């Protein structure tokens, strides 16, 4: 187990599109374990591989009592609109209201490589979408007007 360094805004890996994972093996699980340790030390509610310098398509979530890894996640439906305050471990001390679909269904492979599907609302929904954005090289500040971003 290891606590990994978190890349901050300006690091190019945060702008890369993470690539699909072909096999869920022990090496990937060891990396996910390190991601959990890193997220817990940093007191985050989610973490994407880009944030620790990897372009594997995996993110983890610990929000609203749900703790899980999402490998190759994809949103299969999104409805409604809701605004919530977001922060990001890669953009310390910056918080802003972000409007996103309120309810999403997401399909992914879990820690054991099994196909899973989750319906998320509230903070969990924002977290899932925030992490999938990271895997696409997108940061929450991209949704802000230039005035708010500055």
Q: Which residues contact 147 (CB under 8 A, 6 or more apart)?
A: none
Which lies closer to ligand GNR via its Cβ, residue 72 or residue 90? 90
Closest C-alpha among 90, 88, 71 to residue 126: 88
Q: C-beta of 34: minimal distance to ligand GNR in Å?
A: 15
Contact flag: residue 88 with Ni ion (CB under 5 A) = yes
Residue 90, number of CB atoms within 10 A of its CB = 24
CB 101 within 8 A of CB 120: no
Q: Which of 37, 64, 86, 131 is catalytic?
A: 131
97 is catalytic: no
Q: C-beta of 83: minimal distance to Ni ion in Å?
A: 17
Closest C-alpha among 37, 60, 45, 43 to residue 109: 60
Which lies closer to ligand GNR via its Cβ, residue 15 or residue 26? 15
Write each residue from 43 to 72 as x if it is in contact with ligand GNR (CB under 6 A), else as -, in one continuous string: -xxxxx--x---------------------
CB 59 within 8 A of CB 103: no
Contact flag: residue 135 with ligand GNR (CB under 6 A) = no
Catalytic residues: 131
**Footprint of ligand GNR (CB under 6 A):** 44-48, 51, 86-90, 126-127, 130-131, 134
């Amino acid at each position: 187990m290891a606590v990994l360094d978190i890349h901050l805004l300006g690091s190019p890996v945060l702008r890369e599109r993470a690539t699909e994972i072909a096999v869920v093996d022990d090496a990937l699980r060891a990396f996910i374990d390190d991601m959990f340790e890193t997220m817990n030390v940093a007191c985050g509610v989610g973490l994407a591989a880009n944030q620790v310098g990897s372009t594997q398509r995996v993110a983890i979530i610990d929000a609203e009592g749900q703790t899980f890894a999402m490998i190759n996640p994809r949103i299969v439906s999104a409805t409604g609109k809701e605004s919530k305050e977001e922060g990001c471990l890669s953009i310390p001390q910056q918080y802003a209201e972000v409007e996103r679909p309120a309810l999403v269904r997401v399909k992914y492979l879990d820690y054991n490589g099994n196909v899973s599907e989750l319906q998320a609302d509230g903070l969990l929904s924002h977290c899932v979408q925030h992490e999938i954005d990271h895997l696409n090289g997108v940061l929450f500040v991209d949704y802000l007007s230039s005035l708010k971003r500055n």
